[in-house]
A and B are shown apart, each in its own frame.
Chain A
């Protein structure tokens, strides 16, 4: 093992990557031999100035559609949080039926997002066929989203004071049929992801985040829950229809009895949350109250109310990746928002990244990084600088991905030879 410390600069393949999806984040990783000793996270490539646009150009209703495009995968979470904050600031009531519809749309998004992540994680380990199969299974919930909201991705369901479209009784059978399909498929997913020998070898004891570190670095979402911290906004805060539903935060000891905080635990948490989402949607359909869906249907009147309103509000929601927080302040006489602050969950989880990667191997970097489910796409380019001779060599994305797949092959061969 050589003694030189080489500084390598990786931009890691995370997010949907077949093959390379390009840069929104950069990790500078320092290695000694095969072991990682230091990690630096450089962000900012996707900064579009959304808060500035909301404070200077848009009225609050236009900002809902702007908030939808903060992230294309969790595109129902940001408007959900934003309208809660505005309703607190302006004192606008929300009808009970609208609260239940909001929860149904948010849970459908959680199913789609976790299945997307499962396919990506399988690709990182080298199981491309599983990637294709899981994304094919995901198409059912995309069709359901299109049936209810009109679009696969940017759903535009949320409005200040309620929702824009109703879910009528005629639509219920189609929703129930999709949920039955997922219940049937769930056991197969569990077998493939949790009981396969190769998956266990690649993910157990890899990318560990201890409970204490998760608390100090303010991790949120499945990343925190897999390390034993029971933080779940749906369980802790009383907001929207979740307050009626008694949600419990899922930690991996529900299935295995212990908490390790590695990648395997994160897979457990996400798969069990898919099951939980199916149950939540069924309860919402069964208990949906009748009534209006919007407290103020006329948009001109709504805008006039917002222009006169003065106050501030904080909205929270548990997106598939963790807690989303929006803070809004409205000032009387001003049409744009006076203050708007967004906090997406991945920026909280990125601070735990150095702790997760240090002490591991280079070949584990793709799967460990993908396990926090970063909501950004990434580049693949690795520049290895030999500090003694100052010679640069470039590893392409294919080579980095190959390192990860090669490790899988080695482990599998070792197991098969026993």
Chain B
């Protein structure tokens, strides 16, 4: 496995994905006294090229490390970011790679990657219950953190009408936070 520079990694994505590659950003920062570089790469792709992008990351390092899937409610769409770490195990050479996709709220579906990376199961279950995104092909559909008697259709991370506004625990004698 050879270690590519951040610019070479972005180029390899552009070559593999062609028209499905939307945007990229490289962030670098000098750290502490010896001024070593901390690098993180952010790549935005179209949702159709999602599985192809994950397979491409597996070519950069055989078992890439997926930290977590973060999701954000952006009014009419939901933005998912898959946070990967590649080149771990090598002194000061690891890179943080964020794979960004945008899903319209009318069609919140994304294929699973547990066949490639079995360790993604917990974070996919969490995205399903907290954001309302349906993960197609997930081997275990149960809720992860929310109790079973939590109402269906209420998604705690959303800011729209499906948010948890009615479920807040306001202490007796206090008013709750005001929702604009």
Interface residues, chain A, with chain B CB atoms under 8 Å away: 43-44, 47, 49, 51-52, 55-57, 88, 96, 99, 215-219, 229-231, 233, 235-241, 243-244, 246, 248-249, 287, 289, 312, 314, 316, 323, 325, 327, 329, 338-339, 341, 343, 347-348, 350-351
Contacts and interface: CB of A to CB of B under 8 A. Distances in A.
Interface residues of B, number: 48
B157 interface: yes
A276 to B, nearest CB: 15
A241 B32 contact: yes
B67 interface: yes
Contact of B68 (A47, A244, A325, A338): A325
Contacts of A51: 157
Given A218-B65, A231-B88, A231-B89, A238 B37 contact: yes
A237 B144 contact: no
Contacts of A235: 89, 91-92
B90 interface: yes
Interface string B91-117: 111101010000000000000000001
Interface in B18-45: 27, 29, 31-34, 36-38, 40, 42
A323 B96 CA distance: 13
B17 interface: no
B85 interface: yes
Contact of B119 (A47, A216, A240, A323): A216
B119 A218 contact: yes
B135 interface: no
Nearest to B66: A218
Contacts of A96: 32-33
A325 B97 CA distance: 13
Contacts of A351: 118-119, 121-122
Given A216-B118, A218-B119, A289-B33, A44 B83 contact: no
A249 B89 CA distance: 8
Contact of B27 (A88, A229, A341): A88
A236 B117 contact: no
Interface of B: 27, 29, 31-34, 36-38, 40, 42, 63, 65-68, 70-72, 81, 83, 85, 87-94, 96, 98, 117-123, 143-147, 156-157, 164, 177
B65 A341 contact: no
A314 B25 CA distance: 14
Nearest to B91: A235
A88 B66 CA distance: 20
B67 A236 contact: no
Contacts of A57: 177
A347 B92 CA distance: 25
Contact of B96 (A230, A246, A316): A316
A216 B117 CA distance: 6
Given A47-B146, A235-B89, A314-B83, 6 more contacts: A219-B119, A236-B91, A237-B96, A327-B70, A350-B122, A351-B121
Contacts of B67: 316, 323, 325, 343
Contacts of B70: 327, 339, 341
Nearest to B39: A238
A244 B32 contact: yes
Contact of B32 (A243, A327, A347, A348): A243
A96 B94 CA distance: 22
Given A218-B117, A314-B98, A339-B70, A236 B33 contact: no
A339 B72 contact: yes
Contacts of B63: 215-216
7 contacts: A52-B157, A88-B27, A217-B119, A231-B88, A238-B31, A243-B34, A248-B91
A84 to B, nearest CB: 9
B90 to A, nearest CB: 7
B88 to A, nearest CB: 5
A165 B67 CA distance: 31
- Most chain A C-beta atoms within 10 Å of own C-beta, residue among B92, B120, B121: B92
A249 to B, nearest CB: 8
B143 A243 contact: no
A88 B27 CA distance: 9
